[in-house]
Amino acid sequence: MNLKSLKTYVNMFTDENECLRGNVCGNGTCTNVEGGFECSCDEGFAPGPMQVCEDVNECQEMGNQCAFRCHNVPGSFRCICPYGYALAADGRHCQDIDECQENFGVCEGGECVNTEGGVICECPEGYILSQNGMKCIDVRQELCYDGVRQGKKLSLCTFAT
């Protein structure tokens, strides 16, 4: 028996298999080595001071990952967009949501105008914008009914007669 095989032979009895202690690597795979253990970390994780695989904070460590805001999550990260914007296919940039296309019936009674980061409802004359700005309310009707009731003939009410 040479020295190397003797060493291996001794280690078989002295080396503890730390991998059997439980989840010593965290988010990784444990490999027992002579006198210790090694962790092969899952994607998005890196060995910390105790060898344990810890989440990589991509938002801090990898610079500007996102066009707007970065949100670190275990094993990965997510980009977040401001209100009125949706995440682009690349997962990093933000693109305006075309509310006129996406919300059926938005700006009822008026005209929907998509804007960068928002939406505007343009109401025709005689209509007022609802409180949430997403609908045009016909105020002529009420006016005309009142007008008719009071025996007045309002020029703008011709549509109702």
Compute the least distance from the CB of residue 127 to Ca ion, in Å: 21
User: What gap in Å lies between CA 48 and CA 25, rounded to an integer?
Assistant: 10
114 binds Ca ion (CB under 5 A): yes
Report the sign of the C-alpha dihedral through residues 91, 82, 113, 143, in that order. Answer: positive
Among 32, 72, 95, 130, binds Ca ion (CB under 5 A): 72
Read out DSSP for 120-149? EEEPPTTEEE-TTSSBEEE-HHHHHHHHHH
Number of H helices, E strands in the chain: 4, 12
Among 27, 28, 39, 55, binds Ca ion (CB under 5 A): 55
96 binds Ca ion (CB under 5 A): yes
Compute the least distance from the CB of residue 97 to Ca ion, in Å: 5
Stretch touching Ca ion by CB under 5 A, among 3-11, 26-34, 93-101, 123-131: 93-101
Contact residues: Ca ion, CB under 5 A: 55, 72, 77, 96, 114
